[in-house]
Structure 1
Amino acid sequence: MGEALGVAVLGAGHMGADHVRRLDRVVSGARVAAVADPDPDRARAAAGDLPECTLHTDPLAALDAPGVEAVLIASPAEAHEAALLGCFARGLPVLCEKPLAPDARGALRLAEAEAATGGRLARVGFMRRYDREYQALKDLLDSGKLGRPLMLHCTHRNVSSPPHFTSDMLIGSSVSHEIDAARWLLGEEIDAVTVLRPRSTAHAPQGLTDPQFVVMETSGGVLVDVEIYVNSGFGYQVRCEAVCEGGGARIGEDHAMVVHSAAGAGQEIAQDYLTRFAEAYDTEVRDWVAAVRAGGPVGGPSVWDGYVASVVAEAGIASLHSGERVPVRLAPRPGIYA
């Protein structure tokens, strides 16, 4: 492996272009060796004048490009399975943005395919695990200083939803972050999901159920509730409060500038996830690059974690439509994820 890790970035949209910038300007020890996107103009715009970077419309061709030693997948979910299978076949380490696949069946196929290689090659982009506030909360809960966790209260708000957004996607695309964060923070599986429908905001597009209230029950008896509201109109907010036997802790309050003037005091509110979690994304990619260069375990959120998030999300979507409590049923866990 060369001095700088050669990375192929698949997908040159908003997220992919941000990762190209990150690998080029923020993360040391890595370089962008290839960019792939079905739109050649978009790939060209993302790559800019990067030296020795090849451009492709076929993602599998990018995997075989000169100098490619690892892959970062930021393409739409529908393209993830073929790209990941291509990485597994070539033995290429890969960081894949969530969701892992469009549905749980596809995610399970990927877990089984990776298991067949005999070891882990992939990490899934649940970037909240790399956020300083989430890491501090995880450390506090693991320390036992506040006693056993009893409840998690989560808030997830966006300014507005994109035109293609559906009611199902509030859970499958947005709450999937809270699903993984809850499993990671608590060290427990999610056994059942119930989704409640408050009155929808007038700002939601016609037919979109927004907000939603998601209640998850863990294997250890913790209740996790999530307010998901994607047309709040004012900003991007992610908060989490842990209620424990001996106290509580809340994160997500202070990550912006507070301005004091004659008119009063006010705090800026991030307008999107790339702003709110910019440092977490940097840390995530930096950690992945270091792990790949070291040649040891890839670590981080696994394909199995991506599969579980998909199963729990599908249970939530079923509850959204039925109004009933829906149990979560997982396939047997392959040994490489033990």
Structure 2
Amino acid sequence: MGDLLGVAVLGAGHMGADHIRRLGGVVSGARVAAVADPDTARAEAALAGLTGASVHADALSALDAPGVEAVLVASPDTLHEEALLAALERRLPVLCEKPMVPESAGALRVLEAEAKLGRRLLQIGFMRRYDAEYRQLKEVLDGGRLGRPLMLHCTHRNVSSPDRFTSAKLIDSSVSHEIDAARWLLGQELTAVTVMRPRPSDRAPEGLQDPQFVLFETERGALVDVEIFVNSGFGYQVRCEAVCEAGSARIGDQHSMVVTADGGAHEEVAQDYVVRFADAYDREVRAWVDAVRQGRVTGPSAWDGYAATAVAEAGVRALESGARTLVELAPRPELYADAWPSGR
């Protein structure tokens, strides 16, 4: 491996372009070696100011480009499985934006392909694990001074939903972050889900069930509730409160800057996830690059990616049926046996 880790970035859209910028000027120890996007003009624009990277319309050709030693997948969800399986065939370490694969059957195929190799090559992009506030909450819960966690109360609000966003997407795209965060914070798998449907907001597009109230049960009896509201109209807000036997801890209230002027105070509210979690994305990619340069892969695993997809699928079934729905997980391969070092 050279002085700089050569990374192929698959996808040059909103997230991919942000990662190209990050690899090119924020994270040390890496360089963009190739970019793949069907819109090659968009890929060229994302590379503005950077040199030495080849541009490809096809993702697989980017994996075989000279100098590529690792892969960052930021392409549309439906293209993830093919890219991940191809990267595994080439023994290339990967950081893949969530969801790992949007259907559990495909996610399981990727999981099994990695397990057959007998070593981890995949890290899944659940960036909240790298957010300073979430890490602080994790330390408090792991430290045990608040006692056993009983409930997590989560809030997830967006300014507006993308075009053609569906009611199911509120769960399998948006709430998937809370699914992983809850599993990680509590050190427990989620075992059942119920989705309640309040009257839709007048801001919601026709036919979109927004907001939703999602209730998860865990394997050790904790409850996790999530208010997901993707057309709030005012900003991007993420909050989480852990209620434990001996106290509670809450994050997300003081993230924004407060400006005091002209006889009043104004709190700035982030408008999207790239702004709110900018530091978390930087930490995530920096940690991935450092680990890969040392011959390791850390962070959220393929098992985490598969489990999040399986829970989200159960959530979509619960949304459609209106009934409490059990989560079905395949047996966990030995490669991921130490997934919960501090489960409570």
TM-score range, shorter chain: over 0.9
Superposed, 1:178-327 pairs within 5 Å as 178-296=178-296, 298-327=297-326
CA shift at 1:133, angstroms? 0.3
**Which runs of 5 or more residues in structure 2 are unaligned?**
338-344
CA shift at 1:218, angstroms? 0.4
**Which runs of 5 or more residues in structure 1 are unaligned?**
none
* Equivalent position of 2:116 in the other structure: 116
Q: Give the AA of the match of 1:38.
A: P
User: How many residue pairs were aligned?
Assistant: 337
| Residue aligned with 1:35, SS | strand
Provide the rounded CA distance (Å) in 1 between the counterparts of 2:95 and 2:34. 15
Deviation digits for residues 231-264 of structure 1, max 9, x if unmatched?
0000000000000111100001111210112341
CA shift at 1:110, angstroms? 0.5
| Residue aligned with 1:48, SS | coil
| Residue aligned with 1:123, SS | strand
CA shift at 1:49, angstroms? 3.6
* Equivalent position of 2:331 in the other structure: 332
Q: Give the AA of the match of 2:221.
A: G
* Equivalent position of 1:43 in the other structure: 43
CA shift at 1:51, angstroms? 1.7
Provide the rounded CA distance (Å) in 1 between the counterparts of 2:72 and 2:11. 9
Deviation digits for residues 237-295 of structure 1, max 9, x if unmatched?
00000001111000011112101123411200000000000000000000000000011
TM-score normalised by structure 2 residue count: 0.97
Q: Give the AA of the match of 1:211.
A: P
Q: Give the AA of the match of 2:260.
A: H
| Greater displacement, 44-53 / 135-144 | 44-53
Provide the rounded CA distance (Å) in 2 between the counterparts of 1:310 and 1:111. 12
* Equivalent position of 1:130 in the other structure: 130
Provide the rounded CA distance (Å) in 1 between the counterparts of 2:163 and 2:115. 37
CA shift at 1:52, angstroms? 1.3
Provide the rounded CA distance (Å) in 2 between the counterparts of 1:334 and 1:271. 39
* Equivalent position of 1:174 in the other structure: 174
Flag as ranges the 4+ runs of structure 1 deviating above 6 A: none
CA shift at 1:7, angstroms? 0.3
| Residue aligned with 2:208, SS | coil
RMSD: 0.7
| Residue aligned with 1:55, SS | strand
Q: Give the AA of the match of 2:302.
A: V
TM-score normalised by structure 1 residue count: 0.99
Provide the rounded CA distance (Å) in 2 between the counterparts of 1:180 and 1:102. 14
Provide the rounded CA distance (Å) in 2 between the counterparts of 1:317 and 1:135. 29
Provide the rounded CA distance (Å) in 1 between the counterparts of 2:201 and 2:208. 9
Deviation digits for residues 121-176 of structure 1, max 9, x if unmatched?
00000000000000000000000010110100000000000112000000000000
